[in-house]
Structure 1
């Protein structure tokens, strides 16, 4: 029962019910374009149409799919996802990551092992995503939990990009500045993640579609960014490209506007008391094996596979004759191909695999990644030339296949993470699961840096690169051993009350629902929003 207020008035409305008012207020029947929830699954599948629709059929399918999502969750939510994923991450992060490789190689002139280390440091803000959730949820600024913090980090992003562009910094300061640029992307990402996780649980039939929206938007944004990243690095240099990127963080302010946030309630606990309650609920939920076991798999699936990207990058750009000596423009084109393949992987999952059990999808994705990883072995040993296949043509196919398969693995992982989050702590828990994935990727980078150092791979010696590729590819089989940690269920299955127990813990003093977690767009005590990386 709801505790009566001290003045004897009407009892407070249950905050869990408040959280889902967004969905109840949407009148799906009023929109002629959209069928009832029980009649549709929100997928991208086409329906029968006149033959003259064929030339614009993809656009019609996409527009109706976006209309269904807008009808179910609100157009402002869809707009915010596009801003955060398409612009902040798709353009800002992807171009920055591409450009950083040249910055450390050509401007700072570091070795491949050092470059691998320095390029892994900017990922740290993504590894501590739950901290951003706790910070913004517990310490409002001027009555705002989201907008003020996004504004602050946007200014930080502009400052850091601009500083790296304008000043020749020492290695340590340059690394810190690039970490700052990722803080400006990670915090808005957390804010959107909570909204995605909450909606995935409220309407599980749309869970796969929400992840398709986020990953598809990310792919399109990356395509736009990569279309000019190569020419930008070629004509402006890496520091000039950083100068262009300095304007990107300000655009995340549009996401703050799109994710509605009522003024912070004055009668709710805040500060460190709220942090303590949120942490108590979080660790209570993590004791449920249905949650910590998949969380462990999310980390291990990334961490067990060494990442030797930097060594491969040095070899691809080597112009001494050992490597193919690809130009900046071609590598930019290659990144564009990779993002097209990523988009293809998202579509393939939404069309054909969204109802398949998680274990089956992860199993075949890992096996396929091992096979496609061996394509790198053919490339670095130059066997492709013996068969008359030019390096440029072979590497394009290699990149497309690997990126498409990798997304057939990552999209269901995001869906799994969103479906695991119990009511009331969606934001913190989803941020934690995604930070585990990022931490696993960083572990893989450090493991890869150690591997190429042990094998003696340097900026001028690539004699053992083939061995590094072989070890990396075979180690991609290791996550299969831990598939028992993943629920043998499909995204639309009933997972039960994961971490829930008998009810929602409440503050014994005030009766306030403290499970309203950090950064939950419409799901906080005072209400508000949050993404994946």
Structure 2
């Protein structure tokens, strides 16, 4: 059982302050009484309980992200069978499929709104627990509805958007709980590594079963020829049901997460604190006034919005290379598996490099990875390309996230980082949509060339990169002084708000 309030303490229960501080170390014995040895022994027992609770927390976070890796529409267990349904059953063109997935994944681009909602609008006094249960239940209903609804474009789009929305909202809540535990113990990086590894592992091991299911349905559709029209219609209906088993399997995941949340998560009830909302909005409105923020956000979007080949590659492999879904799943497994090794390589080597150098290496590696698709002409070369691109994938992704994290001022890094990641997510969704359109009208080779040129031009921006992100120059009407620097201004705003709050508390105490 995980008590997420155990690791932290609030400033004032009467004010219901949502912001928390690290609790005192459990190793420190109490020295103000004669029972210090007894208190020290008690603290040691509590430390053991804390270790066990932390282990339960890590298991819960790993389970949540493992389920996310399975049910993610864009890259999880359901992705390949869903693509097969859209292409072979509904006969969508590449641009139409790109529009479908763009509409679904755009829900991941507004994640900061989910965080603000859960932070400042509690349900029955709970900021996380009830939202977790509700979003998990919505995800379950979406998968069940996809199984029972007719295999039509509108039904698939509506319920897939609902599934993606609930999963994105759930992701924000899980991250908030992770931060509440990881920040006092300085374990945010470790817990994030556990989460991302679990999600990537789920996406890797689920590709083969998904490919088997999609491949069997396709062979069932194309390899059986019946003369009787009634039998043919019955055969097509059975094939549709076989395709849709994927949704029924996916529905089991939110059920597991729902009961895991009920069993493990404990949260103290709190009232709505309007002061916190006012403070956060004041800080964010100050950020939006600075060119530095917009330069970073626009760069992250443009870099991520380079034409992607994900949807286009599926059509190229199926129509041009004539791969069946099962072989496509093998390539996806190799890609995701090498992606895990890529993340480990980044953490062990590239994470210690300067920001500018890492970003340039990442851009060059991405150009090399995209260009390698030109050599995917048969099964063996496609395997080599999947391995190469997999090794490059997480290095390029983590480099961009590293830039976003470096560009965040102190004390509001969580909120601002979520905004930057939303720019990356929206850019990636836009890039896949653009790539599908380019592939449909210009072809696969033209798509690769345009993507290489697009990515290559972004390397010019690295000239303005330093250890704190992108350099910025003050406006002409501003004095060239430290007080106009991006970080100093934001930090002074935060310090001013905190000083005002402390003055108000002292005034209330003196008047009382």
TM-score range, shorter chain: 0.7 to 0.9
- Are positions 1:499 and 2:479 aligned together? no
Alignment of 1:331-342 (within 5 A): 331-342=328-339
Q: 1:248 aligns with which of 228, 253, 256?
A: 253
Matched, 1:441 2:428: yes
Counterpart check, 1:316 vs 2:317: yes
Q: Does 1:187 align with 2:199?
A: no
Instruction: Pick one of 75, 78, 88 that aligns with 1:106.
Output: 88
- Residue matched to 1:465: 444
1:129: Cα distance to partner? 0.3
Aligned to 1:347: 344
Aligned equivalents of 1:252, 1:193: Cα separation in 2: 15
TM-superposed deviation, 1:180? 0.6
CA distance in 1 between counterparts of 2:407 and 2:343 reads 21
Equivalence for 1:283:
285
Which whole-Å deviations, capped at 9, do the CAs of 1:382-432 have from their partners, x for residues lacking one?
4xxxxxxxx222111211211221211212333444455445544432322
Q: Does 1:261 align with 2:242?
A: no
Q: Aligned equivalents of 2:257 and 2:58: distance in 1?
A: 14
The equivalent of 1:168 in structure 2 is 150
TM superposition shift of 1:309? 2.4
The alignment status of 1:481 with 2:460, answered yes or no, reads: yes
- Does 2:113 correspond to 1:131? yes
Unaligned 5+ runs, structure 2:
1-10, 30-49, 218-241, 470-485, 506-512
Contact 2:98 2:436 in 1 (8 A): yes
Q: Distance in 2 between matches of 1:145 and 1:17?
A: 10
Q: Tell me, yes or no, if structure 1 residue 232 matches structure 2 residue 213.
A: yes
- TM-score, with length taken from structure 2: 0.74
Checking the alignment, whether the CA contact within 8 Å between 1:132 and 1:190 is kept in structure 2 is: yes
* CA pair 275-506 structure 1, distance change in 2 beyond 3 A: same
CA distance in 1 between counterparts of 2:503 and 2:60 reads 32
* Distance of 2:185 and 2:288 partners within structure 1: 23
Instruction: Could you tell me which runs of 5 or more consecutive residues in structure 1 were left unpaired when the two chains were aligned.
Output: 1-10, 30-69, 383-390, 456-463, 514-533
Q: CA deviation at 1:356?
A: 0.8
Q: Give the C-alpha shift of residue 215 in structure 1.
A: 2.5
Q: Deviations over 1:47-97 (max 9, x none)?
A: xxxxxxxxxxxxxxxxxxxxxxx9699334423431232222355441122
- Give yes or no for contact 1:287–1:499 (8 Å, CA) kept in 2: no
Aligned to 1:302: 304
TM-score (norm 1): 0.71
The residue matched to 1:20 in structure 2 has which SS? strand
Q: How far does residue 20 in structure 1 lie from its aligned partner after superposition?
A: 3.1
Pick one of 148, 152, 156 that aligns with 2:134: 152
- In structure 2, what is the equivalent of residue 85 of structure 1? 65
Q: In structure 2, what is the Cα distance between the partners aligned to 1:220 and 1:511?
A: 50
Q: Distance in 1 between the 2:98 and 2:132 partners?
A: 29
In structure 1, the partner of 2:359 is: 362
Report deviation, 1:19. Answer: 2.1
Cα offset for 1:159?
Answer: 1.4
Cα displacement (A) at 1:131 = 1.2
Asked if 1 retains the 8 angstrom alpha-carbon contact of 2:439 and 2:446, the reply is no
Go from structure 1 to structure 2 and tell me whether the alpha carbon gap of 1:289 and 1:20 turns closer, same or farther (over 3 Å shift). Answer: farther
Deviations 1:323-352 (A, max 9, x none): 221122111121111111110011101111
The Cα of 1:17 is off from its aligned counterpart by 11
Name the count of aligned residue pairs. 430
| Cα deviation code 1:423-467 (max 9, x no counterpart) | 554443232222111011012123223323442xxxxxxxx3222
Q: Which residue of 2 aligns with 1:401?
A: 388
Q: Between 147-156 and 250-259, report the one with greater CA deviation.
A: 250-259
RMSD over aligned Cα, in angstroms? 3.5
Report deviation, 1:476. Answer: 1.9
Q: Which has the higher contact order (CA 8 A, sep 6+)?
A: 1
Structure 1 CA distance for aligned equivalents of residues 409 and 268 of structure 2: 24
| 2:193 maps to 1:217 | no
Shift in Å at residue 486 of structure 1?
4.1
Corresponding residue of 1:19: 20
Cα gap change, 1:503 to 1:349, in 2 (>3 Å): same
1:326 aligns with 2:310: no
Q: Is the 8 A contact 1:297 1:485 kept in 2?
A: no
| Structure 1 residue corresponding to 2:160, chosen from 178, 181, 194 | 178
CA–CA distance in structure 1, aligned partners of residues 468 and 193 of structure 2? 19
CA–CA distance in structure 2, aligned partners of residues 76 and 228 of structure 1: 29
Displacement after TM superposition at 1:147 (Å): 1.4
Query: How far, CA to CA, are the matches of 1:218 and 1:498 in structure 2?
Result: 38
Q: Aligned-pair distance for 1:481?
A: 1.9
CA contact (8 A) 1:223 1:340 kept: yes
**Does the CA contact (< 8 Å) of 1:194 and 1:430 recur in 2?**
no
Deviations 1:301-333 (A, max 9, x none): 201x10132222112112xxxx22112211112
